[in-house]
Homo-oligomer: A and B are copies of this chain.
Amino acid sequence: MEGGKTARIVLDRDFKIGDIDPRIYGGFLEHMGRAIYTGIYEPGHPTADEQGFRQDVLDLVRELGVPIVRYPGGNFVSGYNWEDGVGPKDQRPRRLDLAWRSLETNEVGTNEFADWTLKANSQMMLAVNLGTRGIDAARNLVEYCNHPGGSYWSDKRREHGYPDPHNVRVWCLGNEMDGHWQIGFKTAVEYGRLAAQAGMAMKLVDPSIELVACGSSSISMPTFGEWEATVLDLAYHHVDYISLHTYYGKGDLDTPSYLARSLGMDEFIEAVVSICDYVRSKKKLRKRIHLSFDEWNVWYHSREEDRRIMEQHAWQVAPPLAEERYTLEDALLAGCMLISLLKHADRVKIACVAQLVNVIAPIMTVPGGPAWKQTIYYPFMHASRYGRGTALLMQVDSPQYADPQYDAVPYLEAVATYDEEHEEVSIFAVNRSQEDPLYLEGDLRCFTGYGVQEHLVLSHADPHATNSAEQPHNVRPGRVEGSQVREGRLEAELPPLSWNVIRLSSRRSS
């Protein structure tokens, strides 16, 4: 054990954070860029099914494991008339999408997306437009989607070819309504009141639905905190979740400082939890508001190009917006963000990687050509596949480094999950060090008899390495050997700048 540092962790099956809601592995598909058109939907593509959905994309989405997908926005939804997207396709209007300065053909709408989510083994998380519209359009959409039939809008759905209701459970009350870029942007009082009114009417249509209120668009909004407190004060009874959004960019940061950004995600989550519980205690209520981290990712490579397209090439159908090309280090930060979500599994019940296809996305497509996986695909897939069950309250003792923003950044970012049914424990770990491997020593306590089943690593000699349509496998995970459990102690080596999944199982002894 030379040339590296040692980090120690303790796992105990009796010390738990909470049950992991599978919906933290949710995704997001907005009518933006090529997410829908030439993303999930491309009639004429060699793999397209009879509805025009690309099977190659669907295969990747199913492999990724995305139990819920937020739709149709995002900023897009604040100017969207949902009625434009249902009924005979040849009668659907072509609209200016003011949010992304694009042209929306409305070829894909709520019903098509419902079919797609079924094919993707997923479910819909629908947003209503609280920018240009209000209570009425919202209650009508819930009726259209969830009412069995016999009423105006539910019968319209049936006429449109969908005899069975879509039964959408989770609904977003608008999107980022505090943002000055949002069509119909609102003050906290305006939004809190409208969220209460619309939410109340939506739940009268279907009392079984769950509602997500908009939190601040990011922790850096000048109204952060006060926004959440005011909105919850006005709409507490009517909502179930409050949303959080975060995109990290690299700017002038070096790799260690960049990878440290996920500490801000922990702080963000904990700040919002404290606001929810403050309002709860002030109102003397038992009901808790949970968190929906429904936009999170890394986004900075394409910003300039996005601006150029919107300013100089406005009003295209499906312009190539936000087509990030993710590097290894981006994947590591995404991995840290996944770990942050798991560390707050007691309160974060929904999270959506933003987005799923082409637009700041793990899955990319070439129109008429193949679909391929970005670097960030892998941490997400690992977490979704192996990070089920219970999040464990892991003790971590890691060496640290200094950073201009955070005094002490641990080299090791890690969390463990425990799948009691299958007797499996997964340790997700990032080594933030760019020079040294990190030696991991784990005290497994009462997980007697557990051994290492597999140690997966995503790493690369070049932290800026990316995948592409031509080189889709440049960055991809591999198995490493040598990790083991000896006398109840886990021993493993995490390479420099690496994402690791160490899967322990009672079925194998080390």
Please count how many residues in chain A sit with their CB below 8 Å of the partner chain's CB atoms: 37
24 A-B pairs whose Cβ atoms sit less than 8 Å apart in the complex: A79-B139, A93-B152, A94-B151, A94-B152, A95-B151, A96-B143, A96-B205, A99-B204, A101-B204, A103-B150, A131-B135, A132-B135, A133-B136, A135-B184, A151-B315, A180-B200, A180-B237, A183-B197, A183-B200, A183-B204, A184-B197, A185-B197, A185-B200, A190-B193
CA distance A234 to B185 in the complex (A): 12
Partner of A205, one of B98, B151, B196, B200: B98
Residue of B103, B135, B151 touching A103 (CB-CB under 8 A): B151
Flag if A193 contacts B187 (CB, 8 Å). Answer: yes
Which of A93, A183, A237 has the most C-beta atoms of chain B within 10 angstroms of its own C-beta?
Answer: A183
Interface 1/0 per residue, A196-209 and B, CB below 8 Å: 11001100110000
Flag whether A147 is at the interface (Cβ < 8 A).
yes
Whether A155 is near chain B, meaning CB under 8 Å from some CB there, is yes
A232 shortest CB reach to chain B, Å: 16
Q: Contacts A94-B152, A152-B93 hold; do A201 and B147 have CB atoms under 8 A apart?
A: no
Given contacts A96-B205, A98-B201, contact A315 B193 (CB under 8 A): no
Residue of B nearest to A92 (CB): B152
A142 to chain B, nearest CB (A): 10
A150 touches B185 (CB 8 A): no
CA distance A315 to B143 in the complex (A): 12
| Bound: A398/B237 CA distance, A | 48
Q: Which of B96, B133, B139 is within 8 Å of A147, CB to CB? A: B96
Of A101, A103, A204, most buried by chain B (CB within 10 Å of CB) is: A204
B residues less than 8 Å from A79 (CB atoms): 139, 201
Question: Which one of A96, A103, A180, A197 has the highest number of Cβ atoms from chain B below 10 Å of its Cβ?
Answer: A96
Interface string of A178-198 (1 = CB under 8 A from B): 001001110100100100110
Contact surface of A with B, Cβ cutoff 8 Å: 79, 93-96, 98-99, 101, 103, 131-136, 139, 143, 147, 150-152, 155, 180, 183-185, 187, 190, 193, 196-197, 200-201, 204-205, 237, 315
Residues of chain B within 8 A of A93, CB atoms compared? 151-152
Contact yes or no, B132 A201, CB < 8 A = yes
Which residue of B has the minimal Cβ distance to A101? B204
Query: Inside 8 A of A152's CB, which chain B residues have their CB?
Result: 93-95
Asked whether A96 lies within 8 Å of B151 as measured between CB atoms, the reply is yes
Evaluate contact between B183 and A201: CB separation under 8 angstroms: yes
- Besides A96-B151, A132-B201, 14 new A-B residue pairs in contact (Cβ under 8 A), listed by A number: A79-B201, A94-B152, A95-B151, A96-B147, A98-B204, A101-B204, A131-B135, A132-B134, A133-B136, A147-B315, A150-B315, A183-B197, A183-B200, A184-B197
CA distance A246 to B197 in the complex (A): 24
Nearest Cβ on chain B to A347's Cβ, whole angstroms: 27
CA distance A356 to B136 in the complex (A): 30
Contacts of A131 in B (CB 8 A): 135
Best-surrounded residue of A133, A135, A143, A190 (most CB of chain B within 10 A): A135
Residues of B within 8 A of A133 (CB): 136
Q: How far is the CA of A205 from the CA of B314 in the complex (A)?
A: 10
What residues of chain B lie closer than 8 Å to A201, measured between beta carbons?
Answer: 79, 98, 132, 183-184
A134 to B183, CA, bound (A): 12
Residues of B near A143 (CB, < 8 A) are: 96
- A99 contacts which chain B residues (CB < 8 A)? 204
Contact B183 A135 (CB under 8 A): yes
Q: Which residue among A95, A139, A197 has the maximum number of chain B CB atoms within 10 Å of its CB? A: A197
**A187 vs B197: C-alpha distance in the bound complex, in angstroms?**
11
Residues of chain B with a CB closer than 8 A to A193's CB = 187, 190
Closest B residue, CB atoms, query A196 = B185
Contacts of A101 in B (CB 8 A): 204
Residues of B within 8 A of A183 (CB): 135, 197, 200-201, 204
A151 to B315: give the CA distance in the assembly, Å.
Answer: 9
Nearest CB on B from A71, distance (A) = 22
Tell me how far the C-beta of A222 lies from the nearest C-beta in chain B, rounded to whole angstroms: 13
Which 6 A-B pairs give the minimum distances between C-beta atoms?
Answer: A98-B204, A93-B152, A132-B136, A96-B151, A132-B135, A183-B201
Q: Are A139 and B204 in contact (CB under 8 A)?
A: no
- The residue on B at minimum CB distance from A154 is B96
Find chain B residues with CB under 8 A from A136 CB.
Answer: 132-133
CB distance from A174 to the nearest CB of B (A): 13
Give every chain B residue within 8 A of A139 (Cβ-Cβ): 79, 98, 132
User: Who on chain B is nearest to A311 by CB?
Assistant: B207
